A and B are shown apart, each in its own frame.
Chain A
Amino acid sequence: MQVSFTLNGKPINADIDPRTLLVEFLRDQQSLTGTHVGCETSQCGACNVLLDGVPVKSCSLLMVQLDGCDVISIEGLASGETLHPMQQAFHENHGLQCGFCTPGMVIAGIGIYQRHGDAVTEETVREELEGNLCRCTGYHNIVQSVLAGAKAMAAAEKGA
């Protein structure tokens, strides 16, 4: 089946088996391996991407559902060498240990900022990371990173 959509700002036209999941397409056909496969049952959030601007789990989306949509994977967040403010916040706050969950956490963090702005509380961040698992259990710094990233995203928007 023909599917046309935008991936990280680039138009994509692909002939797709209807069974193909978005995460499979990203990793196997586009070599965008920043989006990870953790549980494959929409529990862990390692595969989060932005679909039309909001975070979703790419292990639970068929490519054929995406015709006309806009997808941004972790690779599409930075502008050249400049990290996205949420990525930079994870870097500065050491919001990762092994790094496996990190791309999904960064995307989830962007969603938290979108919903709550930079006034988001630690309690809300902890609650809204319920769809993301860190098996290093490094949640403390992840939460700090999301809080800092929300402030940085707000600052970047004001500056823009």
Chain B
Amino acid sequence: MYQFDFAKPKTLDDLKALREGEAEVQYLAGGMTLIATLKQRLAMPELLVDISAIDDLKGLSKTADGLKIGALTKHADVASNADVKNTIPTLAKLAGMIGDPQVRNRGTLGGSVANNDPSADYPAAVLALKGTIHTENRSITADDFFVDLFETALDEGELLTAIEVKTPTRASYQKFANPASRYAIAGVFVADLGGGDVRVAVTGAGPCVYRLKDFEAALAKDFSVDAIKGLEVSADGLNEDVHASPDYRADLVKTLTMRAVKELTD
């Protein structure tokens, strides 16, 4: 690791004061990605700011039409929380599929979403469940938030504080995980939000989470496997790596989408 200074503010005001200093600030939450990145010397922050003691970033509550989850909420807590399990069981299930139990005991929702790893699970849920990303001074819709590979709409130093998602009438997340890292080689979150509003969000396959709008339109008209079986997923721009080719990923995405719809209609 390169050398860095460390601070652990207890309030957002303390954090603001740190940010107004001269040092370049990097936030640390659970550290499940960042600490590995530091160890590989792929990041060189001047000031590492551990945000885990800030109470304003914690908590999980029901809203009129969904859930609001604090940025510091750990994957293990989303997976086991009674409100999540009752309201959006698919979200609890997804959280329980991230990494392994030890990673889930540290990793946070906010960290995962802010990092926007192309293979992370949460971005698919947040995009499919019409999420809203709250920061200290604004709210950003998920459609505007996830921009590109590891890139989000967050400005330099802007802190993600909480995420709101809407409760679907039914939803399914299907993931084809890399058996070593447990990251998604492809993952598809299908959410039927009611009133003909269907969302299909894909992670792992492309440089950034994205929606399959032609599949959404077909499912909005007729929520069945038959309605999408004739559609094709384009391999253009999909990821190519040692695990899978773009064509393989495109095929996986369609298969996973059909599995999700099948699970919801059987």
Contacts and interface: CB of A to CB of B under 8 A. Distances in A.
Interface of A: 1, 18-19, 21, 40-43, 45, 48, 51, 54-57, 60-62, 64-65, 67, 108, 111-112, 115, 128, 130-132
A18 B4 contact: yes
A46 to B, nearest CB: 11
Interface of B: 1, 3-6, 8, 28, 31-32, 35-36, 38-39, 48, 50, 52, 76, 80, 99-103, 105-106, 180-182
Specify the main secondary structure of chain A where it touches its partner.
mixed
Nearest to B48: A18
9 nearest CB pairs, A to B = A131-B100, A18-B6, A19-B1, A130-B100, A54-B105, A60-B35, A64-B6, A131-B102, A57-B102
A60 B101 contact: no
Contacts of B4: 18-19
A61 B52 CA distance: 13
Contacts of A1: 6
A115 B96 CA distance: 12
A144 to B, nearest CB: 19
B31 A111 contact: no
B36 A60 contact: yes
Contact of B28 (A51, A65, A67): A65
B182 A62 contact: no
Contacts of A48: 102
B9 to A, nearest CB: 13
A125 to B, nearest CB: 11
15 contacts: A18-B6, A19-B4, A42-B32, A42-B99, A56-B106, A60-B36, A61-B106, A62-B28, A108-B101, A108-B102, A111-B102, A112-B101, A115-B80, A130-B101, A131-B101
A130 B80 CA distance: 18
Contacts of A45: 100, 102
Nearest to B3: A19
A65 B100 contact: no
